[in-house]
A and B are shown apart, each in its own frame.
Chain A
Amino acid sequence: MSTSRALMALLAVVVVAAGMAACGNVTTTTSTAGNTDGVFPHKIVLGGLASLTGPLPADFAPAFAGVRAYLDMVNAEGGVNGRRLDFAYPLDDQSSPTVDASQARALVDQYHVFAVVGVATPSFSGASFLASHDVPTFGYDVNPNSQWLAGPSLFGSTGSYTDFTAPQLQAVYLAEKHHVKSAAVLAYDISESQQGCEGVVNGFHRYGIPIAVEDMSIPAPATNLYSDVARMRAAGVGMVVSCLDVGGNVLLSDTMHQEGMSGVTQLWFDGYDQRDLEQFPVAMDGVYFLLQQVPFEVAKLDPGVYPGMDEFVSMLQRYEPGSLPSVAALAGWTSAALFVKGLRLIGHDVTRTRLVAALNRITDFTADGVMPPVDWRTGHDRVNGPTNCSAFVQVQGDRFVPVYGTPPSVLSCFPVPPPAKGPIARVVPLPAGVPPLGTRGSSQAGEPTTTKSATARPSDARAVSGA
């Protein structure tokens, strides 16, 4: 390039940069165009958006089975206000952010769906578009990048805000139960995995539980964890919290058994799946899992106590016979349940605006008692509190068994934000709206109760480990 041309180019860059300095960015606005798209006299057309293909389809695709099972059940009862719910466009985003954004637009611009029910993807790039068009959107909120907070029309399955870094009291509580003197925390060198354990580390620090081994840079996928386990053994670690995927967890447990550390308490965030248990029964024996739902096993162990879970398990079997209960399937089910609840609230005059407004007045949504209540008046805010409820399950033999619930519920609830000092994690009374026993329905009188803090869901670590 000649000197004069280079100078011209430089000048052009400077001029353009100066011009741009006077510019700004567009602030997000919401459009209510298409307020009644997809609404017909006898049916409502719905879409879905999930990662059916890509690196980890098994962690996301089952969400559609949950949606279909719930909608089929409702349709079998005559639909809602005489309208059948037509889940016509369950789209695949191929686990790609690029495709996710364009598929979200396809649902709205091309297929003219009324709502998007059953979003389950590691990269929810279409969130801002759906929010800006006020499209009621429901799904599996595994995305740590706060995409579910893009607008009031987005409803994550357990609330739209998750703070992964907030001190996690559940792990502290488990440590207290087992009189743990020092702990280990393991994660992959992948940010999603590290974020999953950040809250655990903060919780242990806050309540003075020493972390003897903290390895958050394990190369994924793990092939050998001997040196970590050797350090854990040398330090006399009493508990290990793992944000690895199920493969890494199994390797960890096998290595610990080999090194005579069978008595160490293990808390995993990936592996709550009957297929995994059938495949790795020895490695998983005695392991604890933390759930943001009522465990599936209550349907067998305590039939009738949690009618919502009974219904989920039986309807999934009836309408989606190839599907096993899974966290993703339940997220699809609860998403559809929230949508239908809103639809019933607004009656015959179905518009997106009315639906979103009605949903955001719900104070204690539990999907008929399968999960801790969500107050949708605050469910879109970056706030925590006043409580955070989870269920613990432990592998005992060939099955998962709920443990440590606060009778009569299987859930344990903790104050949010946690107390700055004082005794280790305190279990607090269940908030209003927590699954009532022996009755169907979840509406109980009471003050607004929950949003949630960092309780990494079982599939979080798996969702990112292979990405």
Chain B
Amino acid sequence: MSQLVTYALPGIPYGCVFALMAVGLVLTYKASGVFNLAFGAQAYLSAMVFYVAVHAGWPKWAAFVVAVVVLGPLVGLVLDRLLFRFTRTAPPLVRLVPALGLLIAIPSITQMIFGIEPKLGPPAVFLNPNMIYFRFAGFPVDGNEIATTVATVVVVGGLALLFRSSGLGLRMRAVVESPRMTELAGIDADRVGAFAWILSSFFAGLAGVLLAPLYAQLSASNFTDLLVAAIAAAAIGGFSSLSLTLAGGIGLGLAQEILSGYLPSGTILSSGLRPALPFIVLAVLLVVVPRFRLGGEVSDPLAACDPPAPSLDPPPRIAVVSRGARIFAIAVAGALVGSALSWVSGNWLFTITQGLVFAVIFLSITLLTGMSGQISLCQATFAGVGAFAAGQLASHFGMSVLGGMVIGGLLASAVGILVAYPARRLGGIALGLVTLAFALLMDNVIFPYSWAGNGASGLVVPRPRLGPISFGGGGAFFWLALFVLGVAGGAVWLIRSGTTGQELAAMRGSEVAAATIGIDVRRLRVVAFALSAAIAGVGGALYGSLQQTVSPNDFAYELSLVFVVVVATVGVRTVSGAIEAGLAFTVLQQIITSLPTRYGSLLAVVFGLAALSYVRHPEGVVAYGKRVVLDMAEKLVVALERGGSSHGSATGSGRDDGTATGTMEPDLAVGP
């Protein structure tokens, strides 16, 4: 028994670390309906400002005031005013993408401002982290542990009091339930929402400053790595109960410490189960607990009062504009292919080929998210499955990578089914979190095995050969990538135009409505994951062959988040959007390498900030830009025609299909 206590006690302060982060997540979710995945990034920002101020000679109290009391709430206010105020009644994806963008952008902006030099020895604000203040059943309690535990308990207690006993807390809960109904009761929902963001951002700053001294070096990853355990703790609290969240955090901390004490060392149990525990808990809770299933999402009962959102699909164009756009697109594509194979240097050909390969992987997001509205945060993991399958088959059985690509796609598809089947009842954020837990599980537990991703050693994935044709050279591989992209794009286009595509579109529009017309939504979700994972798997195998060596680092879970942000930003609904996203991702990355190293993370900033536009332009900024240009072109053509007509000549241009009402622009749009 005493041994159990010895093992368990360290889990309490450890669990409080999870709980402090989790409470921040729950607060934002309860008060604004946004699952703020950027909470850890906000914490990092405040911790960095505190560090820099203290190292500049400021008194700790002054640094604390600036970093936590001023900066934290200010960030919250800005986020609410500019961003999340407009997402309260928006679909889950619209609430998630900007948070992902912030998660990616804030640490990069922070590094650009404060430099990339290591920030060693983050200072503590309250108590000496190296001093043992007392012992509890033999367990030494230092300043960090006291500060974290006390702050967590005070925060949870204070918030519970706020929500249960104060008018403001009641109004905050009401705003989450229904901003419209709250406003009908004379409450300023915007103001209440802003307060919630200010409060939660203050807690993010507090968490940042309190948790930073736990580590020898200040790093954004320290905070983001805690996020999954924090999400699991928040799930234990049902994303609403603060006290259960606290209990969940401490419970996870205890379980991890006890497991480390009792599991036999050097076995799969100790090396696999312990690190996987938070992911397993999160996935099981989300899948098993009924409240997380469809309908558990925060939604406004009066949402139906809103007029329907304007269609994101390209409007019908007059024939001359439509044809012009088509010719322009073909000319750009032709110029790109021609340039790639003629005058550009070998490294740019490689970069463009990388763009095509990423476009294949991004098509999996087009299918899953753009067509069916499902959120997946593990697309890079599916790509990894394909790449590792191709690599293992090539190295152990001498199989051609082309064959490995097919098998890798099929294997990834099977893995997709494995993920989607238990989660088939889930939707929105809950589904996204299950996929995130799965990605982390694969990263931490499966990919390191020699039979999978072979850990840090990775795998060699050779270039393929087809009879006498070798794809070893850059030009030949470019053609292969273009061919695979064509096949994958064509498949997505065919799926979209077939029955499955129509069903997916119906599911995206409304799962309830889709179910009422006889569509088996659960089965369809599994099908969507299977198809999407297959495409990602093929793309991953192609990526492996292009790079020639791959390791789990190539498919780390963070990349899945970046992929969603990039595709959603550029255009998630069209095949052309995926291609543009792939090319933008690699070409911009290459351009940024020529900037001073301080701007090395500029790509994350660009896409992260661009993702904030998703609230206003869910079709993607590039798609929106194209739409604006075509609108202008159409107006110009109409004006010219009118001018011509007034002089007695008619051009006879009509809608693309020759009818008065017109048809949808024949871009490769996948939405109905």
Contact = CB atoms under 8 A, between A and B. Distances in A.
- A is bound by B: yes
Contact of A17 (B272, B403, B499): B403
Contacts of B145: 224
Given A108-B346, A223-B14, A26 B216 contact: no
A194 B589 CA distance: 32
B653 interface: no
A381 interface: no
A167 to B, nearest CB: 16
B215 A195 contact: no
B645 interface: no
A247 B215 contact: yes
A317 B142 CA distance: 40
A20 B260 contact: no
Given A53-B600, A123-B551, A213-B265, A24 B275 contact: no
B554 A97 contact: yes
Interface in A91-142: 91-94, 96-99, 101-103, 105-110, 122-123, 125, 127-129
Contacts of B257: 224, 227
A53 B601 contact: yes
B401 A1 contact: no
A55 interface: yes
Interface string B576-615: 0000000000100110110001001100000000000000
A220 B462 contact: no
A94 B460 CA distance: 22
A227 B10 contact: yes
A125 B547 CA distance: 7
A23 B467 contact: yes
Interface in A12-31: 13, 16-17, 20-29
A213 B117 CA distance: 35
Interface stretch (B78-86, B92-100, B451-459, B659-667): B451-459
Which of A53, A109, A110, A282 has its CB near the most chain B CB atoms (within 10 A)? A53
A53 B275 CA distance: 28
B266 interface: yes
Contacts of B261: 227, 231
Contacts of B219: 55, 221, 466
A237 to B, nearest CB: 13
Given A125-B547, A216-B271, A54 B600 contact: yes
Contacts of A189: 271, 274-275, 444
A26 B500 contact: no
A52 interface: yes
A29 B145 CA distance: 58
B80 to A, nearest CB: 31
A230 B7 CA distance: 8
Interface size class of A (residues with CB under 8 A): 35 or more
A144 interface: yes
Contact of A215 (B260, B348, B551): B260
Interface in A191-249: 191-192, 194-195, 201, 211, 213-221, 223-224, 226-228, 230-231, 245-248
Interface string B442-482: 00100010000011111010111111001110000000000
A106 B551 contact: no
Contact of A26 (B448, B464, B549): B464
A466 B250 CA distance: 24
A419 to B, nearest CB: 24
B400 A17 contact: no
A254 interface: yes
Contact of B593 (A2, A99, A123, A230): A99
A98 B586 contact: yes
B658 interface: no
B9 interface: yes
A283 B302 CA distance: 60
Contacts of B256: 219
B351 to A, nearest CB: 5
B348 A91 contact: no
A313 interface: no
A105 B347 contact: yes
A102 B260 contact: no
Interface stretch (A168-176, A272-280, A366-374, A395-403): A272-280
B209 to A, nearest CB: 15
B429 interface: no
Nearest to B130: A254
Contacts of B347: 102-103, 105-110
Contacts of B448: 190-191, 194
Nearest to A22: B467
A405 interface: no
A417 interface: no
A147 interface: yes
B36 interface: no
A107 B350 CA distance: 13
Given A23-B465, A228-B260, A280 B216 contact: yes
Contacts of A54: 600
A221 B225 CA distance: 8
A191 B215 contact: no
A64 B175 CA distance: 56
A21 B403 contact: yes
A23 B464 contact: yes
B403 A214 contact: no
A279 B589 CA distance: 35
A398 to B, nearest CB: 16
A219 B275 contact: yes
Nearest to B13: A224
B345 interface: yes
A17 to B, nearest CB: 5
A275 B463 CA distance: 44
A244 to B, nearest CB: 10
A97 B589 CA distance: 12
Contacts of B554: 97-98, 123
Contacts of A53: 116, 597, 600-601
Interface string B387-431: 000000010001111110111000000000000000000000000
Contacts of B121: 279-280
Nearest to B470: A26
A99 B601 CA distance: 12
Nearest to A55: B221
Contacts of A97: 547, 549-551, 553-554
B120 A128 contact: no
Contacts of A125: 547-549
Interface in B551-566: 551-554, 556
A258 interface: yes
Contacts of B270: 215-217
Contacts of B348: 109-110
A96 B589 CA distance: 10
Contacts of B463: 25-26
A349 interface: no
Contacts of A23: 400, 402-403, 464-467
A315 interface: no
B294 interface: no
User: Which 4 residue pairs are nearest across A and B when measured between Cβ atoms?
Assistant: A53-B600, A247-B216, A191-B455, A109-B346
Interface of B: 6-7, 9-10, 13-14, 17, 116-118, 120-121, 130, 132, 139-140, 142, 145, 214-217, 219, 221-222, 225, 256-257, 260-261, 265-266, 270-272, 274-275, 345-348, 350-351, 354, 394, 398-403, 405-407, 444, 448, 454-458, 460, 462-467, 470-472, 491, 494-495, 498-500, 546-554, 556, 586, 589-590, 592-593, 597, 600-601
Given A58-B117, A226-B139, 15 more contacts: A21-B403, A55-B221, A57-B116, A94-B589, A102-B354, A105-B346, A109-B347, A129-B548, A145-B454, A189-B271, A191-B456, A191-B457, A194-B271, A215-B265, A258-B140
24 contacts: A17-B407, A20-B402, A23-B403, A23-B464, A25-B465, A26-B462, A26-B472, A53-B597, A58-B117, A94-B592, A94-B601, A99-B589, A99-B593, A105-B346, A108-B346, A109-B345, A110-B348, A127-B549, A128-B548, A195-B457, A216-B270, A223-B14, A246-B217, A247-B215
